[in-house]
Amino acid sequence: DAGVIQSPRHEVTEMGQEVTLRCKPISGHDYLFWYRQTMMRGLELLIYFNNNVPIDDSGMPEDRFSAKMPNASFSTLKIQPSEPRDSAVYFCASAQSLAKNIQYFGAGTRLSVL
């Protein structure tokens, strides 16, 4: 398996624009997680899905952020409209189960909002 695949690796956009980050989890993994990492706040969980259903979105900062998982092999994290403070590295991770909680992370998307 190629692991968790995220795209794009880098995204530069202007304030107010819509940004869509994409993630393909490892096949057979029932859990998908979206994290954000900044110098100030470290690595934060934004939302996670189980079998394509959002379970906990308490980490989503505000209504400008939304995440979807239309099928088991694809998820998106959308920011609309984007703001400079959204600049961060966004990671997607997947896991077979929460019982073992072994999460496999993608390489991340580095987002810069100007």
Partner 1 sequence: DAKTTQPTSMDCAEGRAANLPCNHSTISGNEYVYWYRQIHSQGPQYIIHGLKNNETNEMASLIITEDRKSSTLILPHATLRDTAVYYCIVQDSGSRLTFGEGTQLTVNP
- Give contact residues for partner 1 (rule: CB under 8 A): 4, 33, 42-45, 48, 56, 91, 93, 98-108
Instruction: Name which of 30 and 81 has its Cβ closer to partner 1.
Output: 30
- List Cβ neighbours of 48 (8 Å cut-off, separation of 6 or more): 31, 32, 33, 34, 54, 55, 56
Q: Minimum CB separation from partner 1 for residue 108, in Å?
A: 5
Instruction: Name which of 102 and 114 has its Cβ closer to partner 1.
Output: 102
Instruction: Name which of 59 and 81 has its Cβ closer to partner 1.
Output: 59
Instruction: Name which of 15 and 102 has its Cβ closer to partner 1.
Output: 102
φ, ψ dihedrals at 8, nearest 5°? -75, 170
- List Cβ neighbours of 43 (8 Å cut-off, separation of 6 or more): 35, 36, 37, 91
Q: Minimum CB separation from partner 1 for residue 102, in Å?
A: 5
Q: Minimum CB separation from partner 1 for residue 6, in Å?
A: 8
